[in-house]
């Protein structure tokens, strides 16, 4: 596919997922469709399929697309603050004809809070998604007791929360905040974090940090 995606783009009609038929495609293209539907979103009707996985702060969406291709039987939802990442993802979803992935533009605190019922997710990933060192951006941070607690509530018992960071200080902070969420338990109690990814694919930033030789920190916690 080349050029701009417009409401009339024929690519839209190649996607058989009910989401693209039931929701105004213009809203799907903009990424604000989630504001127009009832909450929590009726995922089983709009995006029917298997296990539900949420990727928070997906950036350009490479990880989501890769996982969606690898696991066509699972559903992948992405949340990203920046519309450009969403547009990139949508372009690729349409180009690849993927039926099992959708994304929303917005702050994860809001989108995760209202779009998912408690206990409805099988997995949540936070891949290098906390670039907010400045105090004035503190409310956007995701590696906090508040956000990790919210994500944990949205997981079903046995569901997994996976978090990755290149920043040693954030890793320490995440460790402390994860410990404050009673719903979560580490799946690797023998080590504080792991230095290799639990996933078969790398994200764009992960590639970059590995090229630069940065040590990486991975956490996998299970919902009790």
Ligand X SMILES: C[S@@+](CC[C@H](N)C(=O)[O-])C[C@H]1O[C@@H](n2cnc3c(N)ncnc32)[C@H](O)[C@@H]1O
* Residues with a known catalytic role: 130
Q: Minimum distance between the CB of residue 148 and ligand X, rounded to whole angstroms? A: 13
Kindly state whether residue 193 participates in binding ligand X, applying the rule CB under 6 A: no
Site string for ligand X, 205-224 (x = CB under 6 A): xx------------------
> Rule CB under 6 A: which of 95-134 touch ligand X?
107-108, 127-129, 131
Burial class (CB in 10 A: 0-12, 13-18, 19+), 165: buried
Q: Minimum distance between the CB of residue 166 and ligand X, rounded to whole angstroms? A: 9
Q: Is the dihedral of CA 140, 143, 146, 151 positive or negative?
A: positive
Q: How many residues bind ligand X (CB under 6 A)?
A: 20
Give the binding range for ligand X (CB under 6 A) out of 1-9, 13-21, 26-34, 202-210.
202-210
> Rule CB under 6 A: which of 160-189 touch ligand X?
none
Kindly state whether residue 57 participates in binding ligand X, applying the rule CB under 6 A: yes
Indicate the residue among 15 and 151 with the shorter CB distance to ligand X. Answer: 151
Indicate the residue among 40 and 113 with the shorter CB distance to ligand X. Answer: 113
Which residues, 6 or more positions from 106, have their beta carbon under 8 angstroms from its beta carbon?
31, 32, 34, 35, 79, 81
Q: Minimum distance between the CB of residue 140 and ligand X, rounded to whole angstroms? A: 4
Indicate the residue among 12 and 165 with the shorter CB distance to ligand X. Answer: 165
Give the binding range for ligand X (CB under 6 A) out of 46-54, 56-64, 148-156, 187-195.
56-64
Kindly state whether residue 203 participates in binding ligand X, applying the rule CB under 6 A: yes
Site string for ligand X, 66-85 (x = CB under 6 A): -------------xxxx--x
Judged by the rule CB under 6 A, the positions of this chain that interact with ligand X are 57-59, 79-82, 85, 107-108, 127-129, 131, 140, 142, 203-206
């Amino acid at each position: 596919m080349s050029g701009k995606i417009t409401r009339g783009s024929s690519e839209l009609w190649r996607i058989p997922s009910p989401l693209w038929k039931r929701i105004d495609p213009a809203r799907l293209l903009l990424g604000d469709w989630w504001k127009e539907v009832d909450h929590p979103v009726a995922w089983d009707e709009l995006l029917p399929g298997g296990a539900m996985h949420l990727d928070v702060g997906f950036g350009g969406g490479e990880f989501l697309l890769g996982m969606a291709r690898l696991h066509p039987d699972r559903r992948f939802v992405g949340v990203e603050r920046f519309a450009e990442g969403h547009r990139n993802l949508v372009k690729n979803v349409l180009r690849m004809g993927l039926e099992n992935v959708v994304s929303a533009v917005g702050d994860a605190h809001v989108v995760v809070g209202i779009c998912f019922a408690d206990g409805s997710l099988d997995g949540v990933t936070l891949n290098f998604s906390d670039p907010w060192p400045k105090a004035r951006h503190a409310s956007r941070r995701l590696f906090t007791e508040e956000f990790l607690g919210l994500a944990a509530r949205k997981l079903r018992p046995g569901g997994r929360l996976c978090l990755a960071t290149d920043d040693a200080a954030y890793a320490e902070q995440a460790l402390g905040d994860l410990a404050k969420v009673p719903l979560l338990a580490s799946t690797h109690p023998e080590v504080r974090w792991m230095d290799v990814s639990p996933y078969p694919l790398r994200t764009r930033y992960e590639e970059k940090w590995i090229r630069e030789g940065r040590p990486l920190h991975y956490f996998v916690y299970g919902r009790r």
